[in-house]
Amino acid sequence: MTHGLQRDQNGGLLPGAPVGLVVGGSLTQGVEVRLDGAATVEDIKAGTFLTIQGGRQRYFGVVTDIALGSSDPRMKHTPPQPGEDFLVQVLSGIVAYGAVTVMPSVTLPSVLGDEESPPPAKTIPPHFARAYTAAPRDVELVFGREDENHFWIGNPLDMETKLCLDLDKLVQRSIGIFGKSGTGKTFLTRLLLVGILQRNRASSIIFDMHSEYGWSGQDADRRRVVKGLKQLFPSQVSTFTLDEASSRRRGSPVDEVVGISYGDVEPEDLLTLRETLNLSEVAAGAGFNLERKFGPGKWLREFLARQGQDDVKELAEDVGINQQALLTLHRRLSQLTRYEFFTDQAPKDAAVQIIEHAEKGRHVALEFGRYGNDPTAYVLVSTLLCRRIHKRYIDLKEQAAGGGGREPRPLVLVIEEAHKFLSPAIASQTIFGIIARELRKYNVTLMVIDQRPAAIDSEVMSQLGTLLTCRLDNEKDVEAVLAGTPGARQLRTVLSRLESRQQALLFGDALPMPVVVRTREYGSEGSYAELGRKAGLQPDAHQGETAAQRLEREIKELF
């Protein structure tokens, strides 16, 4: 018997150990692998990688379901009795067997060229093809080896292999990070940002609601403070703050203090705030009337300067809006006057400063300090700034297209509580909706972080290129995340079985196939050393050369 040979000291199956045979299945539902005597259902978990050796090619897939089968339906009615160990031993694996459903995602060629990535599986292995546990080399073939463009995000379940994301593909389209509270979204986001930073693939602007990305953050589980991006990459990260006092208290070195002028607020921003401020459609639209009356840049200051109900009612008459609606708007907007960062004329234009930093290749974390707990402040400031950034990038891109400048550097805008900006009712009108839908063309993408993906507009969700999702319990949220994804039914099983911490399901552009990872450690001294180090990657001196150039070089080297 070979049982002992295929297991490690903990009893787990070794990489490359045979587990069973293909006995059925389909391309859409996945293939059914019947486990043979050596492997039991307890050796395999949902999300485990298997390879299947077909007649002409090798398939790489993920286990999406695990079942107990029986060759005789009567077994349920006459199972072996307690003490009949011999019967149990004999029947197990033959009459009573385990079966797993494997979703073959990619095919592995026997020899892989340097630049090739394995093609998606368009067919399935034949009957009786043997399935094996995946070896580290297989995982590397599929997900890429850690290099200039591949960032190690975590490890596959039960494997020590590094699982990598394709960073170029990651920043090409918007990214979604989901998971219910306390499942590790923030850590996952930090890791992704570190990846983007390390490899210098894009600039990012982080609307840091709870001030946990820029300088330092909290690890609530271990009750410790973890380093933020600026501590890891001091020369590449700028921290901006809305609340200077809070930043100073936390010892965060601030590069710029952000002030917002009343004049920066535009009527369409009220549409974004509609849900946050609980405004009626009429009230939210009143900004346009006010702007017509007072002029662009002045309307908000003038409006808020009105004191008392009669004054506002009179104004309502004047601009032709329902009195009650305008009164409500006035009352709700009055809270803006309590924000210390709101001034008649901010000393510096925050948007311009942020864009300058981003264009220099720096990453900007905007800390909200005490305003982080105020959704209105968060939504309003993010919207104002992003609108300006949006305009700037469109200009830059158009200049580049006209030959008058270089392509703007890819930019990732990081927003939390994304459903406040991107709910179905407002997504079509707000700047974030526009960015999510079309700004990819202008090298700007979003990284949306949320615990309620179901509350985000489905059109926006469908624009997300790569999704990283920690555990979600709510059915609707699971559905929203997986909508339109091939194999959604199988992924649902995997998603609902994620552990509540440090595990995430990743799928989309940056990966050749969906995968569950145990996210990489963040927070120990060792992890900082690894994450902060840009070296360690072997720079390829010959990167970028064509096949012909390479051939020529190799010939020269040979002779």
Strands 260-261 and 342-343: parallel
Core vs surface per residue 189-213: b (16+ CB within 10 A) or e: bbbbbbbbbbbebbbbbbbbbebbb
CB of residue 78 to another protein, shortest distance in Å: 7
Per-position x/- string for 28-67, each x denoting binding to another protein as judged by CB under 8 A, each - no binding: ---------x------------------------------
CB of residue 37 to another protein, shortest distance in Å: 8
| Cβ closest to another protein, residue 76 vs residue 223 | 76
Q: 418, 405, 409, 432: which is closest to 355 by C-alpha?
A: 409
Give the whole-angstrom CA distance, residue 195 versus residue 532.
Answer: 10
Give the whole-angstrom CA distance, residue 265 versus residue 250.
Answer: 30
| Cβ closest to another protein, residue 94 vs residue 551 | 94
| Cβ closest to another protein, residue 14 vs residue 90 | 90
| Cβ closest to another protein, residue 24 vs residue 295 | 24
| Cβ closest to another protein, residue 20 vs residue 54 | 20
24 lines the binding site for another protein (CB under 8 A): no
Which residue type, as a one-letter code, is found at position 336?
A: L
CB of residue 73 to another protein, shortest distance in Å: 9
Q: What is the DSSP letter of 30?
A: E
Cα angle, residue 299 at apex, residues 295 and 303 outer, rounded to 5°: 145
Tell me the three-class secondary structure of 452-504, residue by residue: CHHHCCHHHHHHEEEEEECCCCCHHHHHHHHCCCCCHHHHHHHHHCCCCCCEE
CB of residue 480 to another protein, shortest distance in Å: 44
Q: Report CA dihedral (229, 230, 233, 237) to the nearest 10 degrees.
A: 100
Give the whole-angstrom CA distance, residue 149 versus residue 164.
Answer: 9
| Cβ closest to another protein, residue 87 vs residue 425 | 87
Which residue type, as a one-letter code, is found at position 180?
A: K
The two structure tokens encoding residue 192: 């992704």
CB of residue 427 to another protein, shortest distance in Å: 56
| Binders of another protein in range 397-426 (CB under 8 A) | none
CB of residue 3 to another protein, shortest distance in Å: 12
The two structure tokens encoding residue 216: 């330092």
Kind and range of the H or E element at 186?
Answer: helix 185-198
CB of residue 93 to another protein, shortest distance in Å: 8
| Cβ closest to another protein, residue 95 vs residue 319 | 95
Other residues' Cβ atoms within 10 Å of the Cβ of residue 458: 15
| Cβ closest to another protein, residue 75 vs residue 327 | 75
Give the whole-angstrom CA distance, residue 508 versus residue 350.
Answer: 34
CB of residue 164 to another protein, shortest distance in Å: 43
The single residue listed with the structure tokens 């700034």 is 385
| Cβ(171)–Cβ(410) below 8 Å | yes
The two structure tokens encoding residue 212: 């946990």
| Cβ closest to another protein, residue 78 vs residue 546 | 78
Per-position x/- string for 73-112, each x denoting binding to another protein as judged by CB under 8 A, each - no binding: -xx--x-x---x-xx-xxx-xxx-----------------
CB of residue 81 to another protein, shortest distance in Å: 9
Residues 6 or more apart in contact with residue 217 via CB below 8 angstroms: 186, 190, 211, 225, 226, 227, 228
- Provide the 3-class DSSP secondary structure of residue 62: strand
| Cβ closest to another protein, residue 72 vs residue 281 | 72
CB of residue 19 to another protein, shortest distance in Å: 18
| Cβ closest to another protein, residue 89 vs residue 335 | 89
| Cβ closest to another protein, residue 26 vs residue 78 | 78
| Cβ closest to another protein, residue 70 vs residue 200 | 70
CB of residue 96 to another protein, shortest distance in Å: 9
Q: Of the ranges 44-52, 71-79, 104-112, 439-447, which one interacts with another protein (CB under 8 A)? A: 71-79
Q: 44, 167, 43, 156: which is closest to 102 by C-alpha?
A: 44
CB of residue 83 to another protein, shortest distance in Å: 10
Question: Distance from CA of residue 32 to its chain's centroid?
Answer: 31
CB of residue 118 to another protein, shortest distance in Å: 36
Q: Of the ranges 69-77, 396-404, 436-444, 550-558, which one interacts with another protein (CB under 8 A)? A: 69-77
As a residue count, the chain comes to 559
Give the whole-angstrom CA distance, residue 279 versus residue 271.
Answer: 9
Pick one of 2, 28, 71, 337: the residue that binds another protein (CB under 8 A).
71
Pick one of 3, 14, 42, 72: the residue that binds another protein (CB under 8 A).
72
Q: Which residues bind another protein (CB under 8 A)?
A: 37, 71-72, 74-75, 78, 80, 84, 86-87, 89-91, 93-95
